[in-house]
Amino acid sequence: MPADATLTIVPRPRGENPFRNDGVERDANGMLYYTGLPRSLMHVLRDHAASKPGEEALYEVGGERLTYREVWDRASKIAGGLRERGLGPGDRVAIHMPNGVTWVLALYGTIMAGGVAVPVNTRFSESEVEYVVNDSGARIAFHAGDELPQGDPYFDDSVDHDTIAAIFYTSGTTGFPKGATTTQGALLTNAENMLRCIGVDRDVPGRSVISVPLFHVTGCNAQLLSTMYLGGTSVILSALDLSVLISTIVTEKIDRVTTVPAVYALMISHPDFAGADVSHVEHIGYGGAPMAPALVHRVKEAFPNAQVRNGFGMTEGAALMTALPHAYAATHADSVGFACPTMDLALLDPDPETGVGELLVRGANVTRSYWNKPEATAAAIVDGWLHTGDMARIDDRGFTYIVDRKKDMINRGGENVYCVEVENAFIGLEGIAEVAVLGVPHEVLGEKVGAVIVPLPGATLDTEAIRATLRERIADFKVPQYVVLRPTPLPRNAGGKVLKTALKKEVTDWGPPLK
């Protein structure tokens, strides 16, 4: 960071902070960490397989049910098969598969073999998938429908907290995803943070439904791995279907539900929800986008016995970094809550009047580097502090408020869409002089993707043909659903940068969304 930058480290709240912090200490570098964590995710699984072999660990809705013993046995054979195929310690394995038991076994089999799992977004275009596989240097890639290798049972007992377990790719502002390296210690720390911030009774592991993608840190780290860490049951939907989600919550006696606000809005308005018995749901979690106070009240009424909590995190933080307890869900709906027990928060160059500055974080669950990108690592992680790119303020009580994005990004129902990436996808398309991508407010998803296009003089543009080409270059959720043709050049400053704030004010009518 610049020599004249001001870093204001936010004191950890006292008294009001509701999260247990016993067993939390600082290392020699001042980093907060938990003492007494298990050695690795694999040691956790081995202990569960021994102590509760017949307890249900996984259920793929419409598919298999596996006990903890069965998960251990099958994952260890996959690990053996990977070793027989030449996988060595630290070698990467790309997992490009839909949600399900097979995805989970591929993950556990990989890290059991001493490898590094690379979850791949199933909504990526072919070129994006190819980039992730090549950038990670994956020795093996699993795609939908592939048979997982089988061999003699194997378990690499040498892994510890410092061993890289996974590389989660997050979209980059230049159009190229960056892989956040995630250690065993980071995943275990995140799991412990999840349990403390949610307030789950460790003696009642419970049942969690996973309806979000497992390639996201929310699905994998915040839900699957934290539930496995506790010894509970993960009930997995292969894809989001509101009718299936509602029936699964009822029939499987789900007590923990986590998804984005948009899904809650749609779910409680769905005809199948009327009359559904959800009295057994005890925990409702959401993140990825703010939830309006009115929707918070509707969710609390819909799930009368559940506590509602908001969480804020990012790929680089292994998932959760702050959490808003149930007691403040409605009164502080615009806040993302307090720092997790192992998180330190700081503000870079806070404004003297508003207190708003760039949010910086550090802790044992934060990535140490981007894979194969030393320059990006050096820019984002300085003296142990991760620059989140989010502008925030933190009040005297410790409540954190995300007020803006330093990064040019659209939050589409929890999916991050970087404007520059979408703008780059327009490059080379005929008849286009320039383009700017903006977030268009949407009452359910929060934002959708919009594009303001300036045609070349005399050009006639076919909007649907443009969008069809974009789908070949980027994931479908990144393709603009709103397109406005502008006859005059985009507003720019003296340095040539598009003035998007001014442009948003100028575009007052986006018209109906495109199919």
In sequence order, the β-bridge partners of residue 440 are 448
pLDDT classification of 496: cutoffs 50, 70, 90? low
Measured from the Cβ of residue 410, the count of other Cβ atoms closer than 10 Å reads: 23
Cα radius of gyration (the chain): 23
What's the chain's average pLDDT?
91
What are 72's two structure tokens? Answer: 């251990």
Other Cβ atoms less than 10 A from the Cβ of 271: the count is: 9
Find where tokens 């919009």 sit: 450
Query: 321-349: per-residue pLDDT in tens?
Result: 999 999 999 888 889 999 999 999 999 99
Strand boundaries in 247-406, DSSP class E: 256-259, 283-287, 307-314, 319-324, 338-339, 344-348, 357-362, 381-382, 385-394, 400-405
Q: Is the pLDDT of residue 39 over 90?
A: yes
pLDDT tens digits, 85-105: 999 999 999 999 999 999 999
Q: Which residues pair with 308 in a beta bridge?
A: 284
For residue 216, the SS3 value is: coil
| Interval 276-334: pLDDT, tens | 999 999 999 998 766 777 788 899 999 999 999 999 999 999 999 999 999 999 888 88
For a pLDDT cut of 70, what percent of the chain falls above it?
A: 95
Alpha helices in 208-288 (DSSP H): 217, 226-230, 242-251, 261-268
Q: Per-residue pLDDT averaged across 139-156, rounded?
A: 97
- 506 or 11: which leads in pLDDT: 506
Distances (CA, A) of 321 to 263, 318, 340, 398: 22, 8, 6, 13
Determine the average pLDDT of the residues in 209-230: 96
Collapsing DSSP to helix, strand or coil, 420 comes out as helix
Which residue has better confidence, 470 or 11? Answer: 470
Dump pLDDT digits (tens) for 385-419. 999 988 899 998 999 998 767 777 888 888 878 88
Q: How far is CA 92 from the centre of its chain?
A: 20
> What is the spatial distance between Cα 47 and Cα 40, in angstroms, rounded to a whole number?
11
Beta-carbon contacts of 147 under 8 Å, excluding residues fewer than 6 positions away, are: none
Please answer whether residues 113 and 184 qualify as being in contact, where contact means their C-beta atoms are separated by less than 8 angstroms. no
Query: Higher-confidence residue: 262 or 479?
Result: 479
Whether 425 and 461 have beta carbons less than 8 Å apart is answered as no
Three-class DSSP category at 437: strand
Select the more confidently predicted residue: 230 or 501: 230
List the one residue out of 139, 29, 162 whose CA is nearest residue 93.
Answer: 139
CATH of 411-506, one of 3.40.309.10, 3.40.50.300, 1.10.8.60, 3.30.300.30: 3.30.300.30
Domain 7-405, architecture per CATH:
3-Layer(aba) Sandwich (3.40)
Alpha-carbon dihedral 418, 420, 421, 422, rounded to 10 degrees: 90
Q: What is the pLDDT of residue 2?
A: 61
| Ranges of each domain in the chain | 7-405, 411-506
pLDDT at 449: 95
List of residues 6+ apart from 402 with CB closer than 8 A:
312, 336, 359, 390, 391, 392
The alpha carbon of residue 447 and the mean position of all alpha carbons in its chain are separated, in whole angstroms, by 17
Mean pLDDT of 489-510: 82
pLDDT digits (tens, 9 = 90+) for 49-69: 999 999 999 999 999 999 999
The whole-number average pLDDT for the span 123-138 is 93
Are 72 and 45 in contact, with CB atoms under 8 Å apart? yes
Q: Which one-letter amino acid corresponds to residue 331?
A: T
pLDDT for residue 508 is more than 70: yes
The Cβ-side half-sphere exposure at 201, using a 13 Å CA radius, reads 6
- Average pLDDT on 187-212 reads 94
248 in Cβ contact with 254 (< 8 Å)? yes
The three-state secondary structure class of 464 is: helix
Average of pLDDT values for 155-180? 86
In this prediction, residue 173 has a pLDDT band, given cuts at 50, 70 and 90, of very low
Task: Give percent helix, percent strand, percent coil of the chain, each to the nearest 5.
Answer: 30, 30, 45
What pLDDT score does 15 carry?
Answer: 53
Q: Would you say 189 and 342 are in contact if contact means Cβ atoms under 8 Å apart?
A: yes
* 293-302 helix and 261-268 helix, angle to the nearest 10 degrees: 50
* Rounded CA separation 319/221 (Å): 6
Handedness of CA 381, 383, 388, 389 (dihedral sign): negative
Closest CA relative to residue 55, chosen from 201, 228, 238: 228
Token duo for residue 429: 């398309």
Write a three-state SS string for 481-507.
CEEEECCCCCCECCCCCECHHHHHHHC
